Amino acid sequence: MTRTREWIYAWLLLLPAMSLLALFTHYPAIANLWHSFHSTARANHPSVFVGLDNYRSMVEDPIFWQALKNNLWYAVGTIPLSIALALLMAIWVNNRIPGRGILRLAYFTPTILPMIAVANIWLFFYTPQYGLLEQFLGSLGFASHNWLGTRSTALPALMVVAIWKEAGFFMIFYLAALQSISPQLAEAAAIEGASRAYFFRRVTFPLLMPTTLFVLINAVINAFRMVDHVVVMTRGGPDNATELLLYYIYEVGFRFWDSSYAAALTMVLLAILAVVALLQFAFLERRTHYQ
Partner 1 sequence: MRSLFRMLGRALGFAAAVFAVAALAQGPVEVQFYYPIAVGGPIPKIIDGYVAAFEKENPGIQLKPIYSGSYQESIAKALTAAKSGDPPVMSILLSTDMYTLIDEGAIVPFDDLVKTADDKAWLKSFYPAFMENSQTGGKTWGIPFQRSTVVLYYNKDAFKEAGLDPDHPPATWAEMTADAQKLTKRDASGKVTQWGVEIPSSGFPYWLFQGLAIENGANLMNAAGTEVYFDKPEVVGALQYWVDLVNKYKVHPPGIVDWGTTPKDFFERKVAMMWTTTGNLTNVRANAKFDFGVAMLPAMKQRGSPTGGGNFYIFRKSTPAQREAAFKFIKWVTQPERAAQWGIDTGYVAVRADAWDTPEMKKYVAGFPAAAVARDQLPYAKAELSTHDNQRVTKVLNDALQAALTGAKTPAQALKDAQRDADRLLRSYR
Partner 2 sequence: MTARTAARVGPGARGVGLRSLETAAAWLLGILWVLPLLYAFWTAFHPSEYSTNFTLAAPWTLANFVKAWHAAPFARYFVNTVTLVTMVLAAQLVLVTLAAYAFARFDFPGRNLAFALVLMQLMVMPDVLIVENYRTMTALGIKDTILSIGLPYMASAFGIFLLRQTFKTVPRELDEAARVEGCSPLQTLWKVYVPLARPTYLAYALVSVSYHWNNFLWPLIITNSVESRPVTVGLQVFSSTDQGIDWSIISAATLLSTGPLLVAFLLFQRQFVQSFMRAGIR
Indicate the residue among 50 and 276 with the shorter CB distance to partner 2.
Answer: 276
Task: Work out whether 84 is an interface residue with partner 2 (CB under 8 A).
Answer: no
Task: Work out whether 282 is an interface residue with partner 2 (CB under 8 A).
Answer: no
Task: Work out whether 117 is an interface residue with partner 2 (CB under 8 A).
Answer: yes
Query: How far apart are alpha carbons 242 and 272 in whole angstroms?
Result: 19
Residue 31, Cβ density class (10 Å: 0-12 exposed, 13-18 middle, ≥19 buried): exposed
Task: Work out whether 41 is an interface residue with partner 2 (CB under 8 A).
Answer: no
Task: Work out whether 137 is an interface residue with partner 2 (CB under 8 A).
Answer: no
Site string for partner 2, 212-231 (x = CB under 8 A): --x--x---x--xx-xx--x
User: Number of helices and strands (H, E) in the chain?
Assistant: 15, 0
Phi and psi dihedrals of 90, rounded to 5? -60, -45
Instruction: Specify the stretch interacting with partner 2 by CB under 8 A; choose among 46-54, 69-77, 92-100, 148-156.
Output: 92-100
Task: Work out whether 7 is an interface residue with partner 2 (CB under 8 A).
Answer: yes
Instruction: Specify the stretch interacting with partner 2 by CB under 8 A; choose among 43-51, 59-67, 148-156, 266-274.
Output: 266-274
Query: In the set 41, 105, 185, 188, which binds partner 2 (CB under 8 A)?
Result: 105
Task: Work out whether 118 is an interface residue with partner 2 (CB under 8 A).
Answer: yes
Identity of the residue numbered 285:
E
Nearest C-alpha neighbor of 212 from the set 268, 171, 253, 240: 171
Instruction: Confirm if 234 and 61 have CB atoms less than 8 A apart.
Output: no
Query: How far apart are alpha carbons 173 and 180 in whole angstroms?
Result: 11
Closest distance to partner 2 from the beta carbon of 111 (Å): 6
Task: Work out whether 109 is an interface residue with partner 2 (CB under 8 A).
Answer: yes
Indicate the residue among 66 and 134 with the shorter CB distance to partner 2.
Answer: 134
Positions in 180-219 near partner 2 (CB under 8 A):
180, 190, 193-196, 210-211, 214, 217
Binding-site ranges for partner 1 (CB under 8 A): 42-44, 63, 123, 127-130, 138, 141, 143-144, 146, 148-151, 234-235, 237-241, 251, 254-257
Closest distance to partner 1 from the beta carbon of 77 (Å): 20
Nearest C-alpha neighbor of 164 from the set 124, 122, 135, 136: 122
Query: How far apart are alpha carbons 150 and 138 in whole angstroms?
Result: 18
Q: Which does 179 bind (CB under 5 to 8 A by kind): partner 1, partner 2, none?
A: partner 2
Query: How far apart are alpha carbons 211 and 181 in whole angstroms?
Result: 12
Query: In the set 41, 48, 76, 121, which binds partner 2 (CB under 8 A)?
Result: 121
Whole-number Cα distances in Å, 221 to 11, 79, 109, 251: 29, 10, 21, 20
Instruction: Confirm if 149 and 233 have CB atoms less than 8 A apart.
Output: no
Closest distance to partner 1 from the beta carbon of 274 (Å): 29
